[in-house]
């Protein structure tokens, strides 16, 4: 029985309103729950990434420390070997040089996940080990004595003294330009080369002045030395690009690793898997890769460079160990950048 005086319409409306409010309230709770879960998932993902990065850094530091101690032990044995087994000294130094080179390679391969400070600190350690090896090599390796000889004496053959051993290193301040295919000793020319498949492993650009270089397709490594006022446009490089002694140039490059030594007043448009490395360089500027030619996307994908990593602006200056920004490089202002180097530019 209905309560006397109650309005049936008002009661229905009240019940309907309460149901609507409950539904809205439930939707709001669900939304808050989903948002909380999303935040929780993101937090766990960040924690996982941080843990993985921390574990990778920890593993590197352990391997690096073990190798460093082994090399230091070999260096400490050098004087004893020089006294007791001098004939072994050359091979002993060669072994140390190889170990230092392996250690430097470990740093290069790990640089993409290591903090910048750890990269700089590790390479400083490698540099100190090289210096110690050079010092011991100069001190302990027998030197050829100078003397005046008459003709009869000069004809007499003497055993050759062992040559001083130089560290076999991929350091950007010591690398040697290989005798590979390339463009050399040119000025005021347009130099065009298209790589097909794995036709070329290494390619060299050396002693070029006021040239424009256009290399498309993929190759394994590129070496550049003594370039002045040049423009260099490269398709993807599956290994390393090593650059030394360049001035007033523009480079458009894509590679897994890029090392730059003795560069002045140059602009670099890069796509690179690891952080670019500069040394003894100044007034160099960086921007993202901007090459647009036929088949470039396919070539980038084959080379493992299809994704933009953002490392073009994560530059390590090995001669600047302070925590503040190095004054030797900067990001190229957008208003001064070349937007695209188009396919038409590469017609030979």
Q: Report the predicted TM-score, pTM, of the whole model to 2 decimal places.
A: 0.54
**Rounded Cα distance, 279 and 275, in Å:** 13
Q: How much is the pLDDT for 286? A: 96
Tokens representing 325?
A: 């920004």
Q: How much is the pLDDT for 299? A: 87
Q: Which domains does the chain have, with CATH numbers?
A: 1-143 (1.20.58.1250), 182-346 (2.160.20.70)
Q: Per-residue pLDDT for the chain (348 aa), expressed as one digit of tens each?
A: 444 555 555 555 555 556 666 666 666 666 666 665 655 555 555 555 445 556 688 888 888 988 898 898 888 888 888 888 888 888 888 889 888 988 888 887 787 677 777 887 888 888 888 888 888 888 887 655 444 444 444 444 444 443 443 333 344 455 566 677 899 999 999 999 888 765 567 899 999 999 999 988 888 889 999 999 999 999 899 888 999 999 999 999 999 999 999 999 999 999 998 889 999 999 999 999 998 888 888 888 888 888 888 999 999 888 777 767 889 999 999 999 988 887 554 544
Q: How much is the pLDDT for 302? A: 86
User: Among 322, 318, 329, 257, which Cα is nearest to 120's?
Assistant: 318
Q: How much is the pLDDT for 44? A: 53
**Rounded Cα distance, 242 and 221, in Å:** 8
**Rounded Cα distance, 296 and 348, in Å:** 17
């Amino acid at each position: 029985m209905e309560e006397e005086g109650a309005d049936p319409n008002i009661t229905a409306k009240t019940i309907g309103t309460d149901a609507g409010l409950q539904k809205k309230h439930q939707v709001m709770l669900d939304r808050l729950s989903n948002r909380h879960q999303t935040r929780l998932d993101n937090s766990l993902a960040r924690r996982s990434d941080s843990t993985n990065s921390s574990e990778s850094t920890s593993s590197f530091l352990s391997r690096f420390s073990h190798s460093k101690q082994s090399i230091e032990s070999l260096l400490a044995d050098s004087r004893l070997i020089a006294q007791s087994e001098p004939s072994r000294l050359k091979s002993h130094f060669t072994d140390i040089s190889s170990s230092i080179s392996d250690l430097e390679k470990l740093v290069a391969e790990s640089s993409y996940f290591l903090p910048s400070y750890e990269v700089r600190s590790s390479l400083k350690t490698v540099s100190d080990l090289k210096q110690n090896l050079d010092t011991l090599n100069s001190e302990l390796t027998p030197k050829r004595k100078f003397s005046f000889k008459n003709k009869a004496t000069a004809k007499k053959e003497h055993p050759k003294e062992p040559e001083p051993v130089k560290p076999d290193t991929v350091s950007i301040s010591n690398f040697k330009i290989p005798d590979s295919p390339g463009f050399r000793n040119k000025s005021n020319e347009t130099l065009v080369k298209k790589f097909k498949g794995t036709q070329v492993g290494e390619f060299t650009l050396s002693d070029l002045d006021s040239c424009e270089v256009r290399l498309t397709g993929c190759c394994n490594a590129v070496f550049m030395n003594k370039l002045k006022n040049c423009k260099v446009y490269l398709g993807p490089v599956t290994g390393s690009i090593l650059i030394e002694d360049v001035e007033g140039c523009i480079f458009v490059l894509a590679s897994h690793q890029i090392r730059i030594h003795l560069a002045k007043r140059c602009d670099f448009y890069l796509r690179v898997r690891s952080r670019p490395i500069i040394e003894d360089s100044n007034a160099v500027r960086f921007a993202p890769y901007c090459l647009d030619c036929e088949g470039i996307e396919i070539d980038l994908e084959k080379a493992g460079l299809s994704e933009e990593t953002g490392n073009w602006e994560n530059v390590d200056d090995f001669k600047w160990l302070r925590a503040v920004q190095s004054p030797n490089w900067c990001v190229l202002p957008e208003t001064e950048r070349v937007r695209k180097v188009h396919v038409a530019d590469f017609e030979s």
